[in-house]
Chains A and B, each alone.
Chain A
Amino acid sequence: QVQLQESGPGLVKPSETLSLTCTVSGGSISTYYWSWIRQPPGKGLEWIGYIYYSGSTNYNPSLKSRVTISVDTSKNQFSLKLSSLTAADTAIYYCARVPAYCTTTTCYYGMDVWGQGTTVTVSS
């Protein structure tokens, strides 16, 4: 079955840019949508953005000016870049798959496969 694994630095400095990668195994990235979601300590989930395997993207309006999501189909990976970091960006970052399609009988618009999450701390 499809599995997702996030990777990247656990500690980044304020004002710097965070770079995270999500590796997809057990299936091809060349279908579906792929999302990033984060969860600050003790708080709820926040959707960051998604990318379609073709490269089209959409972002949370509150983060749009600082976020870039890209895909590398040759490596079966997609990535997140978040710039101008502050302590408020400290969170667990998750990647997830979003089928986002309908058959004749059922639609599949939920985040059905998640990575285990990676903890990112923004601190000097």
Chain B
Amino acid sequence: QSALTQPASVSGSPGQSITISCTGTSSDVGGYNYVSWYQQHPGKAPKLMIHDVSERPSGVSNRFSGSKSGNTASLTISKVQAEDEADYYCSSYTSISTWVFGGGTKLTVL
């Protein structure tokens, strides 16, 4: 299975909105609504931010939202804040009942 494709980096100024894309195939992202997004600060374990394409776990800010169109999922962070600076990973369930991650995107808050 191949890793999902994410941009290596994105940036935004405080208060702006940013979007991170995650492209897969019809065997993973396109075939299931089981896409999740994780935030990882340096030296910390990943934290679930979005599950099942657009569902936010309890306690996650509503500034984080997810969507999907075809084989591409997206994470949008509105009103970006300094604390949002981190690495973000997407993940998808696959047709062979495995999971696959994206390569990760580094968000820089300018």
Beyond A60-B1, A115-B45, whether A106 also contacts B98 by CB under 8 A is no
- Partner pick for B52 among A44, A47, A58, A110, CB 8 A cutoff: A110
Contact A59 B51 (CB under 8 A): no
- Partner pick for A111 among B38, B55, B98, CB 8 A cutoff: B38
CB-CB contacts of A44-63 with B at 8 A, as 1s and 0s?
11110110000000111110
The reply on A107 being an interface residue by CB < 8 A is yes
Docked Cα-Cα span, A47 to B92, in Å, equals 11
List B contacts of A49 (CB < 8 A). Answer: 98
Docked Cα-Cα span, A49 to B98, in Å, equals 7
Write the nearest CB–CB distance from B9 to chain A, whole angstroms.
13
Q: How large is the interface on A (under 10, 10 to 19, 20 to 34, 35 or more residues)?
A: 20 to 34
Contact A47 B91 (CB under 8 A): yes
Beyond A110-B36, A117-B45, whether A58 also contacts B51 by CB under 8 A is no
The reply on A32 being an interface residue by CB < 8 A is no
Interface CB pairs A-B, < 8 A, 20 = A37-B46, A44-B3, A44-B101, A44-B103, A45-B46, A45-B104, A47-B101, A49-B98, A58-B98, A62-B1, A94-B46, A106-B52, A107-B51, A107-B52, A108-B52, A111-B36, A112-B57, A115-B45, A116-B45, A117-B45
Known A49-B98, A109-B51; further 18 A-B contacts with Cβ < 8 A? A44-B89, A44-B101, A47-B101, A50-B99, A58-B97, A61-B96, A61-B98, A94-B46, A98-B99, A106-B52, A107-B51, A107-B55, A108-B52, A109-B36, A109-B93, A110-B48, A110-B52, A111-B48
